[in-house]
Amino acid sequence: MQTVHVCGDNKLWRFDALSFFASGVSFPSTRVSFCAPTRSRVVSMVIKRSPKRLKYTTGSRFTKEDGLVHIEADPSASDSWKLEPIVEMLRQGAVGVIPTDTLYAIVCDLRSHSAIERLRRIKNIEASKPLSILCSSFRDIDKYTAGFPRGDGQGHANLFRAVKHCLPGPYTFILIASKELPKQCIRFGTSSAKYASRKNVGVRMPDDAICQSILKEMDAPLICTSIKFQKEDEWMIDPVMIADTYGPEGLDFVVDGGLRVAEPSTVVDMTKMPPKVLRHGKGPILHWMESEDDQIVDVDKDLIPAGI
């Protein structure tokens, strides 16, 4: 029997995980004991007994009172059953933190307009800054973007084959957005007239077991943005510190996959040929990518999405 420990208010609830997910809210053979406070003021699983904890509604909109859901997951996702409540929360409009193969990311469901607005508010991201999406497959990429260049027999390279060797992996590819992508995700209201009509989006397919487990259960990609200290230009790699910092700003959950190395993805602009590297990160620069030694101009910097 697998047992889940739920800590909050200095109490430890212990119950059979299979019975929990099968019944929704019942707690058969529940035993209560006490434990010392954990390393942060967070809740490690979804329960409904305290008014300070997560509360689901019967509708499609996510609501909660006080409290932050905190789930510790094995980096290999061998305990992926723990992530089922997170998927349900995302579907209902929650905004939370999950690990990727580069950094931790604040995410929400691409189809939830209210969640996207909350994500922007939590991170204080201006409306003109484009957002990135986390995809589980090339099918998602083809639906929400114009896709990767596949060649046309007239001298245009088939870069799709090259990209297939990079994904899943630590790259953010900037592609032209399709009409399926909500306007809240793409660049608009920009002050640059030259790029005012461009509708681009950063696309990621992370090579991370926890992230992939969540994405595979979703019906659409997740909107994502990176996490930095509020007053410093440095990445946050400790999920507990992220919870303490951004929990009060409105986060609903944190999936703790351990500490991460502070190394963002390599950003490649695929809207021009040859593809241009806008930021060199964890992913190596390949022969078909153009990398300039000169400093990136401000317009190019503005193209880099608020991603990971």
Taking all residues of the chain, what is their mean pLDDT, rounded to a whole number? 76
Tokens 């980096």 sit at which residue? 75
Beta bridge partners of 3: 16
pLDDT above 50: residue 21: no
* pLDDT bracket for residue 269 (50, 70, 90): very high
Distance CA 89, CA 254 (A): 12
Q: Mean pLDDT across the stretch 7-30? A: 38
Q: Mean pLDDT across the stretch 52-81? A: 67
* pLDDT bracket for residue 42 (50, 70, 90): very low
- Please report the DSSP string for 207-275 in residue order: --HHHHHHHHHSSS-EEEEE-B-SSSS-B---HHHHHHHHGGGT--EEEE-----S--PEEEE-SSSS-
282-296 burial, b for 16+ CB within 10 Å, e for fewer? ebeebeebeeeeeeb
* DSSP 8-state secondary structure symbol assigned to residue 148: -
Distance CA 101, CA 215 (A): 13
Output the pLDDT for position 185: 72
Residue with more model confidence, 283 or 33: 283
Q: In percent, how much of the chain has pLDDT > 90?
A: 50
Q: Mean pLDDT across the stretch 169-181? A: 92
pLDDT above 80: residue 25: no
CB atoms within 10 A of CB 135: 25
* pLDDT bracket for residue 216 (50, 70, 90): very high
